[in-house]
Structure formats: structure tokens, C-alpha cells
Amino acid sequence: MASLSGLFSSSLKPSKTLSVKALSAPPTRGGDSFSFPHTSKPTHLPLTLSASRSDISHTDAATAAKKELIKDPDALWKRYLDWLYQQKDLGLYLDVSRVGFTDEFVVDMEHRFKAAFKAMDELEKGSIANPDEGRMVGHYWLRNSNLVPKPTLKTLIENTLDSICSFADDIIAGKIKPPSSPRFTQILSVGIGGSALGPQFVAEALAPDNPPLKIRFIDNTDPAGIDHQIAQLGPELASTLVIVISKSGGTPETRNGLLEVQKAFREAGLNFAKQGVAITQENSLLDNTARIEGWLARFPMYDWVGGRTSVMSAVGLLPAALQGIDIREMLSGAAIMDEATRTTSLKNNPAALLAMCWYWASDGVGSKDMVILPYKDSLLLFSRYLQQLVMESLGKEFDLDGNTVNQGLTVYGNKGSTDQHAYIQQLREGVPNFFATFIEVLRDRPPGHDWELEPGVTCGDYLFGMLQGTRSALYANGRESISVTIEEVTPRSVGAIIALYERAVGLYASLVNINAYHQPGVEAGKKAAAEVLALQKRVLSVLNEASCKDPVEPLTLDEIADRCHAPEEIEMIYKIIAHMSANDRVLIAEGSCGSPRSVKVYLGECNVDDMYA
Ligand SMILES: O=P(O)(O)OC[C@H]1O[C@](O)(CO)[C@@H](O)[C@@H]1O
């Protein structure tokens, strides 16, 4: 067998054929493989070969090794103790013992991590870590402003934090109030992606039962969803603080949400500007709108903080503070984790351990999905939050050298034990195309509230039992898992786990040599959406012209496509017409929607000035 360390030193670039695990034991999709690959050196654990379904002897060997492993609690306990990571100040533990990496793999990864740690160090010192966009990457500075490469940024970070705290205090105390109510009671947050997911996760995890202001979100351009949020506010719209969040200040979904909310304010006879707050980059479209219209407040976003890592900027901190969440504690938890994940000792760096396990489990090419299972209702949205953080960061077509790599790591999950009654059946027995991450919270309830619903057993004991049972059952069937344990869900621990995963994503991106901080793929969808809307305007213009004739000239789809000079877009034109007709727009479509060729279309009213042109 080729020397793995030799291969790593000769090529730092990942590739499907050069991944360590692939070399040790090629992944056998659909085969009855057990997770631990064969290597030539002894390791802590019994080893086996991967096997294809047709390879009966390998399958038997795998099954035998699996049974042997399960029967060897001493070896497992030793591995658990060897690898258990603990961050005492945070009360956070990381257990990677149920991931089957070998000693050789760790040695090889230690080499590879040298480059990753160096890149991270340079990033923190202000290198252009996002080369495509020519930007620094500074979310770590938000929780330790002493790290900033320029003194002006330190002042900016500190002043912003102070102004967030005092604005939130004044709103909660009723010193700043809406024109027609004694105080603000609700927050309506309008934003999408990183401008929503962090605030949503933090609210779900940390908002008290009766927060000073309750929060709801518009995070889409779905008109029915927007109507629902506004309807739920009802007369409390008059005491709603609307926070419009957009780093770029030009995201169409967010702009639409804003316009819809402003319309609702107008219809209710309310002055939006007196209740509107913008969080955005200086001089963005949103910033200029808010300034010109004289909104209640504006808070800055920075070009060196990405949307998906913005939860500890004003984006996440302002909504959190308004809900009575201790944001300085969140920042402090993140800062402690940042410090803990700066160490270049792999075994003592929880983010590096996570990145190493992801690499192992998914062959460094995303061959397995990451299932996030928090056993705590309040952490429900963690998987959704991580979906953007991980997938928008790691899902990349090209590496930093321009090679096509189609990297990524799929994330999904919900919460335990709820999922036990949904998809865990497949995880245990179905396609072995994932690894799990259990998020365990030791404290079940606030002190003094627990009771035994059976002698010696509480409700929380059941939750604990379900987590441990699922972890064991998955492992017994060759499914790998990581466990992250925190003592309690607090602002500090939430800040810490966010920081933990941010750093793990950054390190993993270095391991696979990609830019984690841009998202060129999203632009393609945005551009295509804009083209659809432009085509819709052309269709309307063509129809308007035909409908202004006397008599009106109904057009077939072919005729519309021809007159739009877009015959290749006929399917899209059909969809545009079907959508508009379903929404009672000015357009009249005759014929059967089921047979597009029979459809003839004209407008119910003709506009001589052709406002669509
Ligand atoms: O905060 P913005 O600029 O409105 O962007 C929202 C989201 O859209 C994206 O740019 C993707 O389109 C995300 O990266 C970002 O979090």
C-alpha cells in the first residue's frame, strides 16, 4: 500500500481518489460495509474491510468485527477516555470516540492541519481570506476586538455593541416608544439567509418565556407567509419594532418584505419610519432608504463579516438584546471557544476534532451527510442554522486553485427524541450514507423544578435514555456519531457552540482547499430569477400590444414566444402565464392548462402607454 503520509505531503489538494479513507478502504456505497477501514497498523479498535454486497467473505468479516467491537466495552471506554475533549470554563465536552478514525489517519491529518491552522491564523490577522470578493473575514473580531488588524475597527465594534445595548435598554424601558403606543411589545424581523437564521436560532434557544419584546420573522417573499405574520400581529402592529436586516441591503426577498410591511403600516394609518430599524452596510440601498426616510435607528454591518457568520454582529445581537437575552454572555462564550480553538494541538482543539471527523466520515468529499440531533427542544433550529453555515461555506464547485471539486457536506436534522419516531428507523437500518452529531444538554430543567414521574425516573431521564440508546443502537449497526455535550442552554453555551462550528467549517475548508467565505452559486439562482421576471415583463408587453388591437388578438404560446424573440423560453412563458392566471391577474387564458398548445391568451384591459414595456 502507498504511504499515506507521503501522499499527503506530496499533495495538499483533496481529491476523491486521494482521500485517506478512500485509500485505506474505498467507500462502498450500498455495500454492507462497516465503518472502520482496514489499515496495516494496529489501532485501538478492531478493524475490518469494507465490503460489497457480492463479497460474502468481506461481509462476514465486517459483521464479525462489528460484533467483536460491540463486545469489547473496555476498548471503547479506553477510546472514549483517550479522545474526550473538555472545555472546563464552558462546561462543554466533545466525544469523537464513535467515529472510527485510525491512528495513521490522525498522524496524516496532523500534517494537513498545520496548513489549516496557519491559514486560520492569517485570517484572524486580517489576510484577504475571501479572495474572490477581496475581503477580510473578521467574525472572530466581534467577540475579541483586540484582534482587529486596524484600530478603527476596534472602536467601531465596541461603539456598535454599546449602542445596541443602550438602544435595547431604552426600548425595553419604554424610553424609546412608538408614536401611538406606550411601548414596543413586538419585533418583526425582516431578512433572509444569514440575516434570519442566526436570530431565529438564538430566539428559539434563548428567549425567555415572557420576553420584553416577542419576535416573529418574515424570511421569505411568500405573500401568504407575510400576510400571516402581519395578521398575527393584528393591532399590535402599532407597537411593533420592525428590524430590516440585510448585509448587502439589496436582497429582493427582504426588499419585498419591507415593502409589504410598509404597505400594512400605511393601511393601518401608522408611520413606518418611527418604528423601523435597519441593520445593513453603510451606504447600501437599505441604509440610504432608512436614512432618507428618517427611520428610528440604523446599525452597521461590515463587509468583513459574512451573512452566515453574522449572528454576533448587530444582526443577531440587536434582536437578542431586545428579547432580554444577555448578549455579552453570548459573546463571552464565543470568545472562550475562539481561544480554545486556536490551539494547534489537534487533540486539544474541538473545532479541529470536528473537522477531522467530518473529513474521516465523509472521505473529505462529502460522501456522507451530517445529521444534527439536538436532544433539547430549544435547540431545534440548530440544524437549520448549521445548514447554511456548513453548506453555503463548503458547497463549492472549484477549489482555491481552480480545480473542479464539487465539494460540500450535507446537513440536516431536527431534534431528539422526536426524530426517533420519524427517520431514525432509516438511520439505524437503511442507507448508511450519514454520520450523526448528538447535541446533549445535561441540565434537564432549571433547578428545583424536576420531579419523578416514576420512582427514580424523570421525564429528562427518558430524554437522556433516548439519546444514549440511539447513539448505542446506531453504533452497534456501524453508524458513526459525534457527541457535543453542554451543561445548560445559556447565552454562553449557545455562543460557544456557534463559535465551535464556525471554526470547524473554516478549518475543514482549508483541509479541502476551498474558499468558505463566498457563495457564487447563489448568484446563479438570483440571476435566473431576475431573468424570469424580465421575461414576464416582455410577455406582458407583447400581450398588451395585442390586446390593444381592435378586435383584441388572443395569442398562442408560440406566438408570444416569437414576439418576445424568445422561442427557446416557451416553457417558461407557459409557466408565467399559468402562474399569473392562477392569481387572477389582468391576463385571460382560454383553453386547457393541461394542453398548453391549446392555450390562447390576452389581457383583460389594454394599457395604451404600455406600462410593462
Ligand atoms: O444579508 P443579505 O445581504 O440580505 O443576504 C442574505 C443572504 O443571502 C445570501 O447572500 C445568499 O444569497 C446569504 O449568504 C446571505 O446570508
The number of the ligand 1 atom at minimal distance from the alpha carbon of 519 is 14
Query: Cis peptide leading into 551, omega within 30 of 0?
Result: yes
The number of the ligand 1 atom at minimal distance from the alpha carbon of 392 is 14
Cα of 315 to ligand 1 centre, how many Å?
A: 12
Cα of 459 to ligand 1 centre, how many Å?
A: 40
On the question of pLDDT at 506 being above 60, the answer is: yes
Of the residues 492, 518, 544, which one is the last residue of a structural domain? 518
- Point out the least confidently predicted range of 70-79, 192-201, 379-388: 70-79
The pLDDT of residue 58 is 34
Q: Are residues 318 and 172 in the same domain?
A: yes
Cα of 35 to ligand 1 centre, how many Å?
A: 37
- The mean per-residue pLDDT over the stretch 457-468 comes to 97
State how far the alpha carbon of 394 is from the alpha carbons of 120, 359, 410, 603, in Å: 16, 12, 9, 47
- The mean per-residue pLDDT over the stretch 179-188 comes to 98
Strands (E), 476-546: 481-486
Pocket test for ligand 1, best of 139, 189, 244, 248 (most atoms within 8 A of CB): 248
Cα of 248 to ligand 1 centre, how many Å?
A: 7
Number of domains in the chain: 3
On the question of pLDDT at 339 being above 80, the answer is: yes
The pLDDT of residue 594 is 75
Cα of 475 to ligand 1 centre, how many Å?
A: 38
CB 83 within 8 A of CB 71: no
Q: Are residues 371 and 465 in the same domain?
A: yes
The pLDDT of residue 70 is 61
| CATH code of the domain in which 204 resides | 3.40.50.10490
Task: Look up the pTM and report it.
Answer: 0.89
Strands (E), 395-524: 411-413, 434-441, 452-454, 457-458, 481-486
Q: How large is the ipTM?
A: 0.98
| 22 falls within a domain | no
Q: Are residues 107 and 184 in the same domain?
A: no
| 446 falls within a domain | yes
Q: What is the pLDDT of residues 414-456, one digit of tens each?
A: 999 999 899 999 999 999 999 999 999 999 999 888 899 999 9
| 465 falls within a domain | yes
On the question of pLDDT at 66 being above 70, the answer is: no
Catalytic residue among 114, 125, 526, 579: 526
Give CA torsion, residues 161, 162, 168, 171, to 10 deg: -150
Q: Are residues 445 and 534 in the same domain?
A: no
Three-state secondary structure string covering 561-613:
HHHCCCHHHHHHHHHHHHHHHHCCCCEEEECCCCCHHHCEEEECCCCCCCCCC
The pLDDT of residue 36 is 32
Nearest CA to ligand 1 atom 4: 246
The pLDDT of residue 203 is 98
Cα of 469 to ligand 1 centre, how many Å?
A: 39
Q: Which residue has the cell 402581519?
A: 230
Q: Are residues 358 and 498 in the same domain?
A: yes
Q: Are residues 346 and 490 in the same domain?
A: yes
Cα of 245 to ligand 1 centre, how many Å?
A: 10
| Domain encompassing residue 154 | 140-325
Of the residues 502, 518, 534, which one is the last residue of a structural domain? 518
| 286 falls within a domain | yes
Pocket test for ligand 1, best of 133, 243, 251, 303 (most atoms within 8 A of CB): 251
Q: Could you give the percent of the chain with pLDDT greater than 90? A: 82
On the question of pLDDT at 10 being above 50, the answer is: no
Nearest CA to ligand 1 atom 7: 193
Strands 481-486 and 186-190: unpaired
Q: Are residues 115 and 172 in the same domain?
A: no
Q: Are residues 110 and 163 in the same domain?
A: no
- The mean per-residue pLDDT over the stretch 546-555 comes to 94
**Gap between the Cα atoms of 433 and 30, Å rounded:** 9
| 186 falls within a domain | yes
Q: Which residue has the cell 486539544?
A: 348
392 catalytic, yes or no?
yes
- The mean per-residue pLDDT over the stretch 557-584 comes to 95
Of the residues 325, 360, 376, which one is the last residue of a structural domain? 325
Strand partners, 438: 373, 483
Q: What is the pLDDT of residues 260-310, one digit of tens each?
A: 999 999 999 999 999 999 999 999 999 999 999 999 999 999 999 999 999
Nearest CA to ligand 1 atom 16: 194
pLDDT band at 526 (very low <50, low <70, confident <90, very high): confident
In single-letter form, the type of residue at position 22 comes to A
Cα of 364 to ligand 1 centre, how many Å?
A: 27
- The number of CA neighbours under 13 Å toward the Cβ of 595 is 4
71 catalytic, yes or no?
no
Cα of 293 to ligand 1 centre, how many Å?
A: 24
How distant is the alpha carbon of residue 334 from its chain centre?
17
The number of the ligand 1 atom at minimal distance from the alpha carbon of 522 is 12
The pLDDT of residue 426 is 95
Q: What is the pLDDT of residues 17-46, one digit of tens each?
A: 333 343 333 333 333 333 333 333 333 332
Q: Are residues 485 and 546 in the same domain?
A: no
Nearest CA to ligand 1 atom 8: 193
Give CA torsion, residues 86, 87, 90, 93, to 10 deg: -30
On the question of pLDDT at 220 being above 50, the answer is: yes
Nearest CA to ligand 1 atom 10: 307
| CATH code of the domain in which 548 resides | 1.10.10.10
Q: Are residues 115 and 178 in the same domain?
A: no
CB 386 within 8 A of CB 484: no
The pLDDT of residue 525 is 85
Q: Are residues 147 and 116 in the same domain?
A: no
| Site residues for ligand 1, CB cut-off 6 Å | 192-195, 246-248, 251, 254, 307-308, 392, 519, 522
On the question of pLDDT at 368 being above 90, the answer is: yes
On the question of pLDDT at 552 being above 50, the answer is: yes
| 33 falls within a domain | no
pLDDT band at 67 (very low <50, low <70, confident <90, very high): low
Catalytic residue among 392, 440, 480, 569: 392
On the question of pLDDT at 128 being above 80, the answer is: yes
Angle, alpha carbons 440-431-421 (nearest 5°) = 50
Catalytic residue among 41, 88, 421, 449: 421
The pLDDT of residue 609 is 85
Pocket test for ligand 1, best of 133, 135, 190, 192 (most atoms within 8 A of CB): 192
CB 385 within 8 A of CB 339: no
CB 302 within 8 A of CB 187: no
What are the cell numbers at 79? 477510546
Pocket test for ligand 1, best of 130, 396, 522, 526 (most atoms within 8 A of CB): 522
**Gap between the Cα atoms of 94 and 358, Å rounded:** 14
The number of the ligand 1 atom at minimal distance from the alpha carbon of 197 is 16
| 135 falls within a domain | no
Q: What is the mean pLDDT of the chain?
A: 89
Pick from 121, 120, 74: nearest CA to 97: 74
Q: Are residues 573 and 506 in the same domain?
A: no
pLDDT band at 612 (very low <50, low <70, confident <90, very high): confident
- The mean per-residue pLDDT over the stretch 233-240 comes to 98
| 226 falls within a domain | yes
